[in-house]
Amino acid sequence: MKKIAVFCGASIGFNPVYAKAAKDLGIFLARKNIEIIFGGGKFGMMGALADAALQEGGTVTGVIPDFLKVVEIEHTGVQKMITSKNMADRKMIISKTVDGYIALPGGFGTLDELMEALTLGQLQIEHKPVGILNINGFFDPLIAQFDLMVKEGFLKPENRNMVLVSDKIEKLFEMMQNYEAPKVSKLVHTVASK
């Protein structure tokens, strides 16, 4: 993996453990010479991640929609900033650029990006690892929801297993390096009406 997208919040959260995790991940990826592709924001989890990677000599690329440049205030210290037309374009640019994805704590936008990455894998449009850095049990309810989807017949176990989860950066990275995409895709069935 040469480039990893990191999805995370434009807010920092209430618990300092989240900002520390963002900084630690930025440092870890910089030391591995892996380029970070992120949402382009200067503040919150995004800013903590980017600043830590840059201070460690890492390469960081932001992808920010034009209309968010003022709201999120783009990070002017990164090596490259790509301006997208909108949110959908931002996700497409990131998808075409990276070799894998890591989700840190965040809000709706983070979940949207995570779900899109998982859906691309489920449909076998992509075969990239998708990792969740589950700091402070932040993603426990979401992981429980994935398990419920399997139990209730809405998600195949093979697709559930695409979700790589750890609360340790090194372990998550190892899981991502060893990832093999499932051979089973989500098949869409239609029933012809009589």
Confidence at residue 69, expressed as pLDDT on a 0 to 100 scale: 75
Single-letter residue type at 175: M
Give the range of the structural domain holding residue 61, as residue numbers without chain letter.
3-177
**Can you give the CATH number for the domain in which 93 is found?**
3.40.50.450
CB 9 within 8 A of CB 45: yes
- Token readout for 114 is 């995570």
Asked if the structure places residue 193 within a domain, the reply is no
Asked if the structure places residue 183 within a domain, the reply is no
Asked if the structure places residue 150 within a domain, the reply is yes
Confidence at residue 193, expressed as pLDDT on a 0 to 100 scale: 40
- Token readout for 11 is 């807010």
Asked if the structure places residue 188 within a domain, the reply is no
* Cα separation, 82 vs 64, whole angstroms: 6
Q: Of 104, 89, 98, which Cα lies nearest the Cα of 135?
A: 104
Spell out, as residue ranges, where the chain has pLDDT lower than 70: 70-72, 184-194
- Given phi > 0 = left and psi -120 to 50 = alpha, else beta, which region is 33? left
Share of the chain above pLDDT 90, in %: 87
Asked if the structure places residue 100 within a domain, the reply is yes
User: For 79, which DSSP code?
Assistant: S
Confidence at residue 87, expressed as pLDDT on a 0 to 100 scale: 92
pLDDT in tens, 73-87: 889 899 999 999 999
Confidence at residue 53, expressed as pLDDT on a 0 to 100 scale: 98
Q: Count of domains in the chain?
A: 1
Asked if the structure places residue 187 within a domain, the reply is no
Q: Residue 155 to residues 59, 68, 122, 146, 187: CA-CA distances in angstroms?
A: 36, 34, 10, 8, 11
* Cα separation, 115 vs 26, whole angstroms: 22
Single-letter residue type at 87: M
* Cα separation, 46 vs 82, whole angstroms: 15
